[in-house]
């Protein structure tokens, strides 16, 4: 467990004692950690910098050593806002609920997967869209949302491009516009499909 996970696991447990952040709910902790890293990258102006995650962890450790109570207070507030967003943004789909709509989105995303893997600068593209989501007030599931917005653009885009850089610019512009709209919207954005048997066996 890394330093960021250690800090956040306590705050998530304070917020929701039923969470098993080291067991069945580990994914919640991992997403929260990624979201915190993304959030701090934007606010500490580290987006697009080489080795930004190392610098970020160093800064956090320094903050923790010099002013632990201030960091603790910030993390409590941030986790509270994040958890409310999690409840609003994440919807569990049980069995075949919403399967028609779900199947269409899944098909677009899987069609886009090979195109996405071929893009040399997908990491940078994702960072740009993630930053836009955060600057527009979205703090939950930012990496997942950014990647899916870009993949949806790739999967739905049927135009022929002169070259990859023209395609990248077009995909990013469309994804950024949608990211702004998404951040202003209400309701669930991340759908997690769960097998019916999971609930019957618990």
Q: What is the 3-state secondary structure (H, E, C) of 50-84?
A: CCHHHHHHHHHHHHHHHCHHHHHHHHHHHHHHHHH
Number of domains in the chain: 2
- CB of 156 within 8 A of CB of 108? yes
Judge whether 125 and 171 are in contact, CB under 8 Å.
Answer: yes
pLDDT tens track of the chain, all 202 residues? Answer: 688 999 999 999 999 999 898 888 899 999 999 999 999 999 999 998 877 888 998 999 999 999 999 999 999 999 999 999 999 998 877 666 666 766 788 888 888 898 899 888 899 999 999 999 999 999 999 999 999 999 999 888 666 777 778 888 899 999 999 999 999 999 988 887 665 554 443 4
**Pair 84, 167 in one domain:** no
Instruction: For residue 184, give its domain range.
Output: 96-200
Q: Is 124 left (phi over 0), alpha (psi -120 to 50) or beta?
A: alpha
State which of 65, 91, 117 marks the end of a domain.
91
Q: 52 and 118: one domain? A: no
Helix (H) or strand (E) holding 94: strand 90-94
Q: At 87, give phi and psi (nearest 5°).
A: -60, -40
What is the pLDDT, as a whole number, of residue 199? 42
């Amino acid at each position: 467990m890394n330093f960021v996970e250690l800090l956040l696991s306590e705050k998530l447990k304070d917020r929701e004692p039923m969470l098993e952040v080291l067991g069945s709910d580990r994914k919640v902790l991992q997403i929260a950690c990624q979201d915190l890293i993304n959030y701090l990258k934007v606010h500490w102006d580290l987006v697009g910098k080489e080795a930004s995650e190392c610098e970020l962890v160093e800064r956090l450790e320094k903050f923790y050593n010099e002013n632990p109570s201030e960091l603790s207070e910030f993390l409590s507030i941030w986790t509270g806002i994040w958890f409310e967003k999690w409840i609003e943004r994440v919807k569990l789909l049980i069995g075949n609920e919403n399967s028609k709509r779900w199947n269409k989105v899944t098909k677009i995303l899987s069609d886009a997967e090979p195109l996405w893997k071929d893009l040399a600068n997908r990491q940078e593209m994702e960072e740009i869209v993630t930053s836009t989501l955060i600057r527009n007030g979205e703090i939950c599931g930012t990496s997942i949302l950014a990647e899916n917005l870009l993949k949806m653009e790739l999967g739905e885009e049927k135009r022929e491009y002169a070259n990859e850089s023209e395609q990248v610019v077009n995909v990013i512009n469309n994804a950024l516009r949608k990211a702004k709209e998404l951040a202003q919207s209400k309701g669930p954005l991340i759908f997690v499909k769960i097998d019916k048997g999971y609930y019957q066996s618990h």
